[in-house]
A = this chain, B = another copy of it.
Amino acid sequence: MKKQINIGIVGYKFMGRAHSNAWKKAPLFFDTPSTPVLKVACGRHQESLSEFAQNWGWEETETDWQKLINRPDIDIIDIALPQNLHYEVALAAAKAGKHIFCEKPLSMDSTQAAEMLKVCQENGVKHYLNHNYRRTPAVALAKKMIEEGKIGRIFHWRCAYQQDWIVDPSFPLTWQLKKETAKAGPQWDLNSHAVDLAHFLVGDIVSVSSLTANFIKERPIADETATGSLSGASKGDEMGEVTVEDAALMMVRFQNGAVGSFEATRFATGRKNRLTFEIYGSKGSLVFDLERMNELQYYSNEDTKGEHGFRTILATESIHPYAGHWWPAGHIIGYEHAFVHAVVDFLDAIENDTEIKPDFADGLKIIQVLEAGLRSAESGSEVRL
């Protein structure tokens, strides 16, 4: 019988579901070193919290997150909250000696992030930041190929993260569109993922030039009861100011000499959740698109002359990272599976007392790049890190 490890989750919306699913599913498909127990679900509204907990099999509920954190039987705090609440909860959890599985983006600014990292380190707890796309088989394969030298020296990173959920001007002013709750727009929400992938696959960023845009300046005030949803309802005719950017572009330099571009937007009509990157190197190139997340495109300069071309690797074979735990080759997996992989690796890291990446140190670096982007957008000048 495996050791059990008790989870307390804070937050029960979109990410609460995705995380709960991951905790449940991980030991079914992977030989995890311990069995995660869905012990306590924590949230503010008892009624919806109870419904959530019952549906997902959380044994208990708690409306006071501090009480949750102080429970001695809890091993892991899973932070599935909007980013403005990460700091306080993470600090308390670390101080209480809990391992932390934290949703992205890490925090509201780099000061918070630095402190979160420091406190985690001081208290010797694992701190995982859930940039889950690293753990899709295709992206993990890209990493492996880069490490093996298949791409050679990297020249270019070209990335876009495109959504279209606020193209309609009548879409209300939800928490994501206000600076005080969201810190920023797609620069925070989307480019945090993109920068994480760039750090993971290309290397550290040393300078940032950025440009942001606001296409719709005012929106109907949101009905708060619908807050948190991507299909919010408005309260009525009253308008409020959008205080975050609608789109954020960046051009960057990497320490290794590569250059990169980022484009994050909620105004790319037709793109629902397209995160695409292109990597060009001296020996080969890689292309990924999250909407076809089981595929990795690869071009090799070392193919026989006359037979070069971008090939589509369907990363569902047992040789591909993570893929062998699911279905036979050619049977694709979906969005939620990367969360499962994260949970598996997190449990391993706890068991073996090893590092898990990305962690809060990575998160801090991401936030520093994003902040540099916001500063650059304001000044119109390149910002060096």
Q: Which of the four size classes fits the interface of chain A? A: 35 or more
Q: Which residues of B contact A354 (CB under 8 A)?
A: none
User: When the two chains form their complex, are residues A312 and B314 in contact, meaning their CB atoms are under 8 A apart?
Assistant: no
> Is A3 an interface residue, CB under 8 A from the partner?
no
> Is A255 an interface residue, CB under 8 A from the partner?
no
- A181 vs chain B, min Cβ distance (A): 19
Q: In the bound complex, what is the Cα–Cα distance between A308 and B270 (angstroms)?
A: 8
User: When the two chains form their complex, are residues A314 and B305 in contact, meaning their CB atoms are under 8 A apart?
Assistant: no
- Chain B, residue nearest A230 (CB): B328
Contact mask A236-252 → B, CB, 8 Å, 1/0? 00000000001101010
Binds B, one of A69-77, A170-178, A261-269: A261-269
- A271 vs chain B, min Cβ distance (A): 7
> Is A316 an interface residue, CB under 8 A from the partner?
yes
Q: In the bound complex, what is the Cα–Cα distance between A290 and B327 (angstroms)?
A: 14
> Is A281 an interface residue, CB under 8 A from the partner?
yes
> Is A320 an interface residue, CB under 8 A from the partner?
yes
The 8 Å CB contact of A155, one of B150, B247, B316, is B247
User: When the two chains form their complex, are residues B313 and A309 in contact, meaning their CB atoms are under 8 A apart?
Assistant: yes
User: When the two chains form their complex, are residues A310 and B307 in contact, meaning their CB atoms are under 8 A apart?
Assistant: no
User: When the two chains form their complex, are residues B251 and A249 in contact, meaning their CB atoms are under 8 A apart?
Assistant: yes
> Is A149 an interface residue, CB under 8 A from the partner?
no
Contact mask A17-30 → B, CB, 8 Å, 1/0? 01011001101100
The 8 Å CB contact of A305, one of B290, B303, B310, B319, is B319
Binds B, one of A198-206, A333-341, A358-366: A333-341
Q: Which residues of B contact A311 (CB under 8 A)?
A: 299, 303, 307-312
User: When the two chains form their complex, are residues B309 and A263 in contact, meaning their CB atoms are under 8 A apart?
Assistant: no
- A329 vs chain B, min Cβ distance (A): 4
User: When the two chains form their complex, are residues B332 and A247 in contact, meaning their CB atoms are under 8 A apart?
Assistant: no
> Is A100 an interface residue, CB under 8 A from the partner?
no
Contact mask A272-300 → B, CB, 8 Å, 1/0? 11100010111111000011111011111
Contact mask A108-124 → B, CB, 8 Å, 1/0? 00000000000000000
User: When the two chains form their complex, are residues B280 and A267 in contact, meaning their CB atoms are under 8 A apart?
Assistant: yes
Q: Which residues of B contact A213 (CB under 8 A)?
A: 155, 253, 257, 259
Q: Which residues of B contact A319 (CB under 8 A)?
A: 305-306
Binding site for B on A (CB under 8 A): 14, 18, 20-21, 24-25, 27-28, 55-56, 141, 145, 150, 153, 155-156, 158, 160, 162-165, 167, 209-211, 213, 215, 230-231, 246-247, 249, 251, 253, 257, 259, 261, 263, 265, 267-274, 278, 280-285, 290-294, 296-301, 303, 305-314, 316-320, 326-337, 379-382
Known: A231-B318, A331-B334. 7 other contacts (CB 8 A): A28-B55, A155-B246, A167-B301, A272-B317, A291-B332, A311-B311, A379-B381
Could you pull out 23 A-B pairs where Cβ atoms are within 8 angstroms? A155-B247, A155-B265, A211-B251, A215-B257, A230-B328, A231-B318, A251-B251, A268-B278, A269-B301, A272-B317, A272-B329, A272-B331, A273-B328, A297-B309, A300-B307, A305-B319, A306-B319, A306-B320, A308-B313, A310-B311, A311-B311, A331-B334, A332-B332
